[in-house]
Structure 1
Amino acid sequence: METNKIKKHFDRDGYVYLPGFLSQENVETILTKLSAVIAEKVQTMPSQHVKYEDTGDLSTLKMLQDLQVYDPFFADILFDSTFTRLAEVLLEEKVTGKTLEYFNKPPRIGKATPPHQDGYYFMLEPMRAVTMWMALEEVDRENGWVSYVKGSHKKGMRPHIATNTLGFSQGIADFGLKSDLDNEVFFPAKPGDLLVHHALTIHRASQNTSLTRTRKAMGLIYFGVSAKEDVAAKEAYVASLNKQP
């Protein structure tokens, strides 16, 4: 898709779907690097950067945060890559790469991601940020596909309340309105397919109901340089989350 069309779709819908953004070869390289980090560094990573569905059970690993800190390969992806340049096109300004994350939903126990807006966590003014989600293996209804509420980025921040979902502590309090469900679009994805959404776009992901399949993905977050972060409030919020069991 041409750059101007990508930007048009993003501005209209609050998200854009880019199939085949990375080749299978590039995806395999990412998976190999991820496997090395998991094998060599997870045991010594701070608890705030590692989350499990069943604490300490590596087979239930759910999330790794700030991978750019642990391997220069991931730092290069976050700070100087086609992902970085895409974020600049969508936000129409230079960007700051904030984090590169690994997500998984283990078979049978991978929980649903509650409907939320990333901007609720970001605490930015103005709210100029994008989140990128890349499938590292095939994703569909069974193992936890992602959905977006089309156009929801134009309607501001919705009220959020606490959830019991590790790694996604807040969810939209009144999700399920007719306008939500009528405009929700679900995305099956293949390895290398990329989804990008605005920080105000409502989205969620299904649980993994498969008995055998994982659901591995990579996430990247970019802030526009014009966005100002309430650092003190954000640090206090993150600290409160890390105190939770």
Structure 2
Amino acid sequence: MKPTDILNDKTFCNKLRQDFLRDGYILFRNFLQQDEIELVNTKIQEFIKTRVSDMPAKEVYYEDIDNKDTLKQLQKLFAYDPFFFDMMFGSRFEKLASIVLDDNVEGKNMQYFNKPSKIGKPTPPHQDGYYFMLTPNEAVTMWMPLEPVDEENGCVRYVKGSHRYGIRSHGRTGTLGFSQGIMDFGCPNDVANEVFFPTQPGDLLVHHSLTIHRADGNTSERTRKALGFIYYAEKAKEDKAAHEAYAQNLAKELAEDKKI
């Protein structure tokens, strides 16, 4: 059964919601079919060739700003291309977000990620909710690989059940795109409950905004490309002034450090 059909199955959706509540994440295999993921990859390649040069510097990150082949991250794809707008809004991604959050949702960001071969840095352990500044902190991040991902090229790792214990203390990391990380990560509970999933193109990982997660660096000869989607629950209220101030200060610091 295709995801477009199975997301209308109440029994299946209830199980997704319960698994999400228990673990803080779900893995939905083959959320996109092969022909769909091939189209997405084609659209991403076209976007990088034709649209990136017109985007604001604060929405385009490179591992090495002087080497355009080291593209690392793009923000708000839906704002620049109708194909990605349709993926973000009124889509099965949006529907899945509303199922696991048990609420109407608001799409906030759609990102492209890559860890270039050999130089793709680890993603520090963090909670997305630290950046979101929501009350209550009810949101999801979805992560979909565009090519095979494993331990060598940077798989995502979750601390199972960590979404139930609130926000941990974060501090500056120096990692472009992930400026804040959990400073005391590595306690016995973190280690004992950490899980990871090798994934194939079109698989979809979905995690709660409070779920602790990280990703390995890329030590392989392959790239590690993926899309990310962020949805806030309707009941979650954003401290927009604080969020905007943080974003402005971060952009200023990155510009001063010549990272963007």
Question: For the superposition of Structure 1 and Structure 2, which TM-score range results when normalised by the shorter chain?
Answer: over 0.9
Aligned to 1:227: 236
Among candidates 151, 155, 159, match of residue 145 of structure 1: 155
Q: Which amino acid aligns with 1:235?
A: E
Quick check: 1:3 aligned with 2:13?
yes
* 2: CA distance, partners of 1:71 / 1:40: 11
Among candidates 105, 114, 128, match of residue 95 of structure 1: 105
Quick check: 1:120 aligned with 2:120?
no
Aligned structure 1 segments of 4 or more residues deviating by more than 3 angstroms: none
Aligned to 1:84: 94
Aligned to 1:37: 47
Aligned to 1:64: 74
* 1: CA distance, partners of 2:172 / 2:18: 34
Q: Which amino acid aligns with 2:219?
A: T
How big is the shift at 1:36? 1.1
* 2: CA distance, partners of 1:35 / 1:224: 31
Quick check: 1:200 aligned with 2:210?
yes
* 2: CA distance, partners of 1:58 / 1:220: 24
Q: Which amino acid aligns with 1:53?
A: E
Quick check: 1:237 aligned with 2:246?
yes
Q: Which amino acid aligns with 1:238?
A: A
Quick check: 1:173 aligned with 2:183?
yes
* 2: CA distance, partners of 1:216 / 1:207: 13
Write out per-residue CA displacement over residues 125-164 of structure 1, whole angstroms, 9 at most, x where no aligned residue.
0111000000110000000000100000001100000001
Q: What secondary structure is seen at the aligned counterpart in 2 of 1:243?
A: helix
* 1: CA distance, partners of 2:138 / 2:196: 24
Give the alignment's Cα RMSD to 1 decimal: 0.9
Q: Which amino acid aligns with 1:37?
A: F
What's the TM-score, normalizing by structure 2? 0.92
* 2: CA distance, partners of 1:221 / 1:58: 26
Aligned to 2:36: 26
Q: Which amino acid aligns with 1:98?
A: K
How big is the shift at 1:58? 2.0
* 2: CA distance, partners of 1:105 / 1:30: 18
Name structure 2 gaps, 5 residues minimum: 1-5, 7-11
Aligned to 1:216: 225
Aligned to 2:139: 129
Q: Which amino acid aligns with 1:161?
A: G
Write out per-residue CA displacement over residues 101-139 of structure 1, whole angstroms, 9 at most, x where no aligned residue.
000000010000000000000000011100000011000
How big is the shift at 1:56? 4.1
